[in-house]
Amino acid sequence: MFSINLIIVVVLLALLFDYVNGFHDTSNAIASAVATKALQPGAAILMAAILNFMGAVSGTAVAAVIGQSIINPHFIEPQALIAALGGAIIWNLITWYLGLPSSSSHSLIGGMAGGVLVSAGPGFINWYGLLLIIAVLLITPFISFLAGGLIMKLLLLLLTNTSPTVTNDNLRKFQVLSSAMASFAHGSNDAQKSMGIITMALISGGMLGDFFVPLWVKISCAATMAAGTAMGGWRIIRTIGQQIFHIKPANGFAADLSAAIIIYSASLSGFPVSTTHVVSSAIIGAGAAKRMRGVRWITAVNILIAWLITIPAAGITAMIIYLVIQSGLL
């Protein structure tokens, strides 16, 4: 059972993860709108922060999956959760510094798996639940790539013989809407992950009997993510907005709309997804649908590499943190 001090540490680390997630993933919803000048950077970040908060308090289905589907919350020890969150936070900061749009979701799932493996062993992991979550994390970027390409193709058909200047001006207005939708969807999925971790700690510490996300947990996680979002994530915004391909309003609208639909559908279903990879894949799909050679595939490959290594990297980092804690060095 947790001591109150350890519960406080887990809560603070979960909120720190939420904050880092906010500025790490700000680019998900606003990079294309900033790149096409549909929104000024300051206005885009403010909009994203507000809608992240609104999305975060819109439900708890993802929190329930995170908090119950990988390990029974009654049997996890505090050091494992501390190590899991530490591994996720450290990997997020590394990829943020490098400007790589890696996944906070992958980081957290990898950290949780690593923390439980080293603390309790493989028998305490619900492998069906874990592998199902990983499968959804891996499949959704491909779905997003196809959706971004499909919507872009439809736009190209609809916009044939229209004035490029008038079309771009109109689509910039629609980009504001699609970016707002993506921001809300981002909050609805990502902030709930920290809610799930905090609720796990409360159950394991005997402060809750059944899995139920208290209102204070919802509000604090939503507010912390909104605060992180308000800080911006300019390194990753530049990668998504400028280094994949030269985004036009049609590409940005197609990418944001398809990403918003996929992410929010996953939130309603209770599946944690990588909002970063969904948006990145949608942008690549929208760009490839217009002109394959216009995509900077080297950047796309770097994103793919970060996508593949994040779960094991965060897991190994969590294992190291746990061993350091057990050794008494922390």
| Residue numbers of the domain that contains 10 | 4-327
What local confidence, expressed as pLDDT, does residue 241 receive?
Answer: 45
Cα 154 to Cα 2, 146, 164, 171, 179: the distances in Å are 54, 12, 16, 14, 19
pLDDT tens-digit profile, the chain (330 residues): 457 888 999 999 999 999 988 877 666 777 788 888 888 878 888 898 899 999 999 989 999 999 998 888 888 888 899 999 999 999 888 877 776 667 788 899 999 999 999 998 998 999 999 999 989 988 998 999 999 999 999 998 888 778 777 788 888 999 999 999 999 999 999 889 999 999 999 998 888 888 999 999 999 999 999 898 877 655 555 555 455 556 788 888 998 999 999 999 999 999 999 887 888 888 888 888 876 665 666 766 776 777 778 899 999 999 999 999 988 765
Cβ neighbours for 158, distance < 8 A, ≥ 6 positions apart: none
| Spatial distance between the Cα atoms of 47 and 188, rounded to a whole number of angstroms | 15
Domain count, the chain: 1
Is the CB of residue 130 less than 8 Å from the CB of residue 70?
yes
Q: For residues 39 and 33, give the distance between their C-alpha atoms in angstroms, rounded to a whole number.
A: 6
pLDDT at 237: 55
| Contacts with 161 (C-beta within 8 Å, 6 or more apart), sequence order | none
Instruction: Return d(Cα 17, Cα 7) in angstroms, integer.
Output: 15
